[in-house]
Amino acid sequence: ETGVTQTPRHLVMGMTNKKSLKCEQHLGHNAMYWYKQSAKKPLELMFVYNFKEQTENNSVPSRFSPECPNSSHLFLHLHTLQPEDSALYLCASSQAMEGGSEQYFGPGTRLTVT
């Protein structure tokens, strides 16, 4: 148990669907992250929230929309995705953004866009 949970674990959606990924951390951390992990590529940081405020948006297409209602919950809303968006989406949290704060990862959502 990493203290970070993600649902659903697997998701298959068509390009015209709308779905949401959910992440919850039970660690009392202040920073939360969304990553995209594709095969044989580095982890791609998508969004960062620090104390519920978005601090980073790494040129992510608008078909991905994050939401952070409180410091324990993070959502990724998906709409009109493309097949190349198929990947593992990982949520992580850390005590702080600065210094040696290790990130704790959730198990990920395996997304397939058909």
In the complex, the residues that contact other proteins under the rule CB under 8 A are 2, 4, 40-43, 45, 48, 56, 90, 97-100, 102-108
Q: Nearest approach, Cβ of 91 to other proteins (angstroms)?
A: 9
Nearest residue (CB) to other proteins, 41 versus 83:
41
Nearest residue (CB) to other proteins, 42 versus 83:
42
Q: Nearest approach, Cβ of 105 to other proteins (angstroms)?
A: 4
Query: 37 with 106: CB under 8 angstroms?
Result: no
Nearest residue (CB) to other proteins, 56 versus 79:
56
Buried/exposed code over 17-52 (b: 16+ C-beta within 10 A; e: otherwise): eebebbbbbeeebbbbbbbbeeeeeeeeebbbbbee
Q: Nearest approach, Cβ of 106 to other proteins (angstroms)?
A: 6
Rounded Cα gap, residues 89 and 104, in angstroms: 14
